[in-house]
A and B are shown apart, each in its own frame.
Chain A
């Protein structure tokens, strides 16, 4: 793990320490996805969050918001000091992203909402003759929601090649393994059957993600799905692949220090 990935994780720990709670595992699997999106892929203007021609990026698995907050703060969408105020009274940042936060495109937290909204945005972009893209970042557990597949049918019908569904496939949902709770496999085949052009990548390999996000759309006239194979809790040895770290409340400073120490070992 390189320094930038460690740095972004440390920012999420600062927010975690301030808020004393957060979806740790779900955040850590997303770090490289957001890092590459905001460093290399998205056309956005932190000083002009509503710039009409920006690429839209919806975090549909809203519980992974600490990863988004870390990257947005790092890019200057809002002051870095806001991170430690997460979930405090009067804070800008809450436990799920909302549109009053500069850089947040849609308020999420309930699952299965991002892709339908993304379809609407992508259709609108086409109607307006704009060339921006719409990225929707979803969790694997989120794919249990029927609305995701309703939207997938529609994305394919409308041939939305300006829509990119990114799946944080960490194989672990809240209760336990996706393969036990509600199996998704063969996921790539399912997405292909729904009309997506599918790419797969190691969701923690920055170079692989850059390649996967390059030359979009993956196929003209088809929405793209990028399955990012990730590790829940990535970078923290005792949290990796551990459903107990999906969400933590009442995290004290000592526990966060343990996370920081574990990160240095990674």
Chain B
């Protein structure tokens, strides 16, 4: 997915002279072709995220469309004020490509696990935050990014993730995609957790629970209409994200439903509020957090039973 995103910058740069790339201190050879063919539009600025964001803002003020890439935690936490003031306050077309969203960098510990990035980005005025599900969708997002107005945060996954998105379904920033139908439960997911949600939905089918899966690739602006439409008449809404339970997808859905006329219970499946002290792999962390497809299916099933019990108690 990262390769697709980074290569797309090169392709976009060939098409549009406004496109520039800024890296911090990335691995050797990143975007070598762009560096060779368009050296004046390729910048590797060192471990200086605050400066990188400000410099990108300065370039954007002069008409360029800067694409920045570095590790998600550094790109969000380290330079948050620069993103807020230099980029968002000025509403500039700066694109932040965040490597290792969620717990991709599990072996590297809490400094590298971006479990709060979506919350941080969602709370910034004018910011758009997107978490694609796979490399194909990333390609569609990158194509859409060039003409998109204002700041854009792009959360990358691990890479090599299974392709579940479909090319025949239009991709538009801000529009959630219904991945499968189902009557009992609405599962809303983002990023690569949509893949897990789809697998969980299959498991639930074996238990005669029919789950609709809505892929909310864009956290902000949030597709409220899609969620409200699909939540109506369901017994349960489930949110699934590789992110802290605070401020991410689950919060967006709960905020929305709390202000709606719908009385539908919500099961928020997310990472606990805390720094992970587990290493291992992304899958291991998801296992510990009970966010694998079997865990998701089990938790949905349990929540559905509890919801039924509550309804019976009221009756």
Chain B stretch 46-62: residues in CB contact (< 8 A) with chain A: 46, 48, 50-62
Which one of A110, A116, A127 contacts B53 once the chains associate, using CB atoms below 8 Å?
A116
Question: Contact: B85 with A116, CB < 8 Å?
Answer: no
| Docked complex Cα distance between A110 and B81 (Å) | 8
Question: Contact: A154 with B45, CB < 8 Å?
Answer: yes
Question: Contact: A121 with B58, CB < 8 Å?
Answer: yes
Question: Contact: B62 with A124, CB < 8 Å?
Answer: yes
- Digitize A98-137: 1 where CB-to-B-CB distance is under 8 Å, 0 elsewhere: 1100000111111011011111111111011000000000
- Known: A110-B85, A116-B82. Is A121-B48 also a contact (CB below 8 A)? no
Question: Contact: B50 with A120, CB < 8 Å?
Answer: no
A side interface size, CB within 8 A: 29
B side interface size, CB within 8 A: 27
Question: Contact: A117 with B55, CB < 8 Å?
Answer: yes
Asked whether A151 is an interface residue with its Cβ less than 8 Å from the other chain, the reply is yes
Which one of A113, A124, A147 contacts B59 once the chains associate, using CB atoms below 8 Å?
A124
Asked whether B86 is an interface residue with its Cβ less than 8 Å from the other chain, the reply is yes
Question: Contact: B40 with A151, CB < 8 Å?
Answer: no
Which one of A99, A116, A124 contacts B50 once the chains associate, using CB atoms below 8 Å?
A116
Question: Contact: A113 with B55, CB < 8 Å?
Answer: no
User: B51's closest neighbor in chain A, by CB?
Assistant: A150
Question: Contact: B64 with A124, CB < 8 Å?
Answer: yes
Closest chain-A Cβ to B242's Cβ sits at a distance in Å of: 30
Question: Contact: A121 with B62, CB < 8 Å?
Answer: yes
| Cβ-closest 7 pairs across A and B | A120-B58, A116-B54, A124-B62, A150-B51, A150-B48, A147-B50, A120-B55
Give the interface of B toward A (CB within 8 A): 40-41, 43, 45-46, 48, 50-64, 81-82, 85-86, 89-90
Give the interface of A toward B (CB within 8 A): 98-99, 105-110, 112-113, 115-125, 127-128, 146-147, 150-151, 153-154
Name 5 A/B residue pairs within 8 A (Cβ), A-sorted: A106-B61, A107-B85, A110-B81, A116-B53, A150-B46
